Amino acid sequence: MIQILMYHRVGHFPGRVKAHGALYCHLPRFRAQMTLFRVLGYTVISLDDAVAGLRGDKALPPRPLVLTFDDAYVDFLENAAPVLKAHGYPATVYAVSSLIGSTSMWDAGVGPEPAPLMDAAQLREVRDMGFTIGSHSRSHLRLAQQDEACIAREMSDSKSALEDLLGQRIDHFCYPYGSHDLRSMEAAAAAGYLSGTTCERAAATPSNDLLALPRKAVSRGDDVFGVAWKLLTKNAPKRPLLHRAG
């Protein structure tokens, strides 16, 4: 069983509306959470190692934990990365390929104000720090609501664009909003991704389809006790998880 945590922004967010709490993690709480993992006996591993472990290709340490960060906000580099490096923790950052160096404009008019996303140089810096870059699609659409041609473009175009930008393979995908279905999972497989992460809350096990891995969201309201509770409980999915035939 592998715990996969989902973060978005890390920093100081006074006055943010509670309705969008899952997008924010206060930096002091983030620091405390990173310390908590070691206290509780968790070993933070890379998503590559997690996939290998779920496949049975690699032995996993006791209490394995994966850290993921959606959207590739600038504040990952400014705030989260130094804390992660101090602990020696790997992490995966998912970038939206057509919005590199722009803002989270999908938020405009529907909730939190758009925030800066890392540009090409910053993503390369994150890569050079040893973190994994994954794809968060081309345009941050709800993929389960799109036609198959659009889904395929969102998968393949983002992969090729990020690979050209970073000069390395992009093996991991994250479904925007957690929106996925069997069509998008098949498209992810056709594009060559090894894993796909969702917003379904549970622990990941070898019985899961690697292209529909569950994660647990960490939000602004979670102190160390809240995160510990999420790690130690809530391991069974609320509903059956999708799995491709065969």
Q: Where are the domains of the chain?
A: 3-232
Residues (pLDDT < 50) of the chain are none
Q: What is the pLDDT of residue 81?
A: 98
pTM: predicted TM-score of the whole model, two decimal places: 0.96
The contacts of residue 116 (CB under 8 Å, 6+ apart) are 73, 74, 75, 103
Q: Which CATH class is domain 3-232?
A: alpha beta
pLDDT at position 245 is 86
Ordered DSSP codes for 155-199: HHHHHHHHHHHHTS---EEE-GGG---HHHHHHHHHHT-SEEE-S
Listed residue (152, 136, 96, 147) closest to 119, CA to CA = 96
pLDDT tens track for 36-67: 999 999 999 999 999 999 999 999 999 999 99
